[in-house]
């Protein structure tokens, strides 16, 4: 049984079901996992899969000044190790290029992790190539352990190239979830073969397909039977909810629809105010963050899933949004934008519809077409569900990860 320390920015998180899914799948393959979280949880509820995960969780000091004695004790514990001198030199070199308080915090967290590492850990593995990977990298150097990483979206596209390249040079292997990520990271790596394309996939035992009552006859022509739109995602700029609201406001007034949004986020109140200013707030149900069973029921009750993702000023973007796969698993037609890994999931016109990001006109046209054409929605939804099962079963990705972990022997 291989013992792994798996480092996360926060655990548990409602928005990171794909990570919880992976953790549980690895446990079922026989891996002995200790979870290491850089932050304490902030969500008030969890998903059912979090209750299934057996791993212990080690919470590191979220802020060093809150637990100074713990950090000092950790430093004293590792101070006599020769490896610490090497790590301090690396940290100083990094600090000269990144003078943020976050860099200091990561080093302090790595000291605590190295000192409090459970006995028998054979490998370290981080989810996200920015903060968690930095803590993992320093701790792995101190404890002389191999480490690897899974990279996704913001952690890739908002990080400095020097930081990514140096981590890629030191880690054993890296997995990433889109072809665009894969190509970019390989271009930064001295050994491109270290970078592997591994789709998250979906666990179909949790997202079982339930036959839905056909709503092909629903075409937005009746106020008593509006087309039910759903979008699940954090209220952050890269999700493009401002574009979605603008597109909805441009729809003909005789077209009846209802939008359910599920997710918390920093700009939620701003979006709600935007909806009110556009005069469409009465058509929107803002439900906030919800547990997975509630989300699953909402998918099954909906006619159309929409996600208007885009690339924002600092380079942040979605990778392969898991919510699209979740909606497809319930044969819900998906309308999304053509960025990052989304075209790897949706072939526009065949199993969903894609439009250009930041293009409100295209989004409005696609929305009107799909709202008025219930038969098209049903056809695209069923095709999406079929191709999802063919290509994005979580077992495929876990098979790849298991081989990568074994390659570190």
Mean pLDDT by 10 residues, the chain (409 residues): 93 88 94 96 85 95 95 93 88 92 95 96 97 97 96 93 96 95 96 96 88 84 95 96 98 97 96 98 96 93 97 92 95 96 96 98 98 97 95 94 89
What pLDDT does 270 receive? 98
Q: How far apart are CA 126 and CA 36, in angstroms?
A: 9
Cα 103 to its chain centre, rounded Å, is 23
CA 319, CA 333: separation in Å to the nearest integer?
Answer: 20
According to CATH, the superfamily of the domain at 227-391 is: Glycogen Phosphorylase B; (3.40.50.2000)
What is the pTM for the complete model shown?
0.86
Q: Which of 108, 109, 87, 88 is nearest to 36 (CA)?
A: 109
Q: In this structure, are residues 235 and 284 in contact, taking their beta carbons and an 8 Å threshold?
A: no
Return the pLDDT at 126: 98
Instruction: Please give the pLDDT value at position 83.
Output: 86
Whether domain 3-201+393-406 has CATH 3.40.50.1860: the reply is: no
Position 14 scores a pLDDT of 82
Contact 153, 19 (CB under 8 A): no
Q: What pLDDT is recorded for position 253? A: 94
Q: Is 3 helix (H, G, I), strand (E, B) or coil?
A: strand
Classify each residue of 145-160 as buried b or exposed e, where b means 16 or more C-beta atoms within 10 Å of its C-beta: bbbbbbbbbbbbbebe
The reported pLDDT for the residue numbered 176 is 96
> Can you read off the two tokens belonging to residue 403?
């081989």
Which are the contacts of 147, defined by CB distance < 8 A and separation ≥ 6? 123, 124, 125, 126, 136, 137, 140, 170, 171, 172
The order of strands in the sheet holding 32-37 is 56-59, 32-37, 3-8, 123-127, 147-151, 174-176, 195-197
Q: DSSP state, 393?
A: B
Listed in order, the ranges of the chain carrying CATH 3.40.50.2000 are 3-201+393-406, 227-391
Structure tokens at 366: 């696609």
* SS3 at position 403: helix
3-state secondary structure of 285: strand
Residue 45, pLDDT score: 80
Q: CA angle at residue 291 from 234 to 337, to 5 degrees?
A: 35
Q: How far apart are CA 116 and CA 131, in angstroms?
A: 19
Q: What pLDDT does 235 receive?
A: 97
Q: So what's the pLDDT on residue 409?
A: 67
Q: What is the pLDDT of residue 306?
A: 98
pLDDT value of residue 382:
95
**Total length of the chain:** 409
């Amino acid at each position: 049984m291989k013992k792994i320390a798996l480092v996360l920015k926060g655990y548990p998180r409602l928005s990171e079901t794909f990570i919880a899914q992976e953790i549980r799948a690895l446990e079922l393959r026989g891996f002995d996992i200790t979870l290491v979280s850089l932050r304490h949880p902030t969500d008030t509820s969890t998903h059912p899969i979090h209750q299934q995960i057996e791993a212990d969780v080690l919470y590191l000091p979220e802020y060093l000044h809150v637990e100074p004695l713990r950090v000092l004790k950790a430093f004293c514990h590792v101070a006599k190790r020769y490896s610490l001198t090497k790590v301090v030199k690396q940290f100083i070199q990094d600090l000269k290029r990144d003078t943020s308080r976050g860099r200091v915090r990561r080093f302090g967290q790595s000291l605590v992790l190295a000192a409090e590492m459970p006995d028998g850990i054979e490998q370290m593995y981080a989810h996200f190539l920015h903060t968690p990977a930095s803590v993992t990298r320093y701790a792995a150097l101190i404890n002389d352990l191999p480490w690897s990483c899974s990279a996704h979206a913001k952690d890739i596209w908002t990080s400095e190239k020097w930081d990514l390249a140096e981590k890629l040079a030191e880690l054993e292997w890296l997995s990433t979830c889109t072809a665009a990520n894969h190509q970019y990271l390989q271009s930064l790596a001295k050994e491109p073969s270290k970078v592997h394309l591994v789709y998250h996939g979906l666990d179909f035992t949790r997202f079982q397909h339930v036959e839905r009552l056909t709503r092909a006859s629903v075409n937005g022509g009746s106020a008593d039977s509006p087309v039910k739109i759903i979008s699940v995602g954090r209220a952050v700029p890269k999700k493009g909810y401002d574009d979605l609201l603008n597109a909805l406001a441009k729809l003909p007034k005789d077209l009846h629809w209802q939008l359910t949004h599920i997710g918390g986020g920093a700009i939620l109140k701003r979006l709600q105010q935007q909806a009110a200013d556009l005069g469409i707030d009465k058509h929107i149900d803002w439900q906030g963050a919800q547990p997975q069973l509630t989300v699953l029921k909402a998918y099954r009750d909906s006619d159309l899933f929409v996600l208007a993702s885009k690339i924002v000023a600092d380079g942040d973007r979605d990778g392969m949004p898991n919510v699209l796969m979740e909606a497809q698993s319930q044969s819900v037609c998906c309308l999304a934008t053509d960025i990052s890994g989304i075209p790897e999931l949706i072939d526009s016109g065949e199993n969903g519809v894609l439009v250009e990001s930041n293009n409100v006109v295209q989004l409005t046209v696609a929305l009107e077409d799909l709202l008025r054409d219930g038969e098209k929605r049903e056809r695209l939804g069923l095709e999406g569900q079929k191709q999802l099962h063919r290509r994005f079963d979580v077992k495929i990705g876990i098979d790849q990860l298991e081989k990568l972990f074994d390659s570190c022997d």
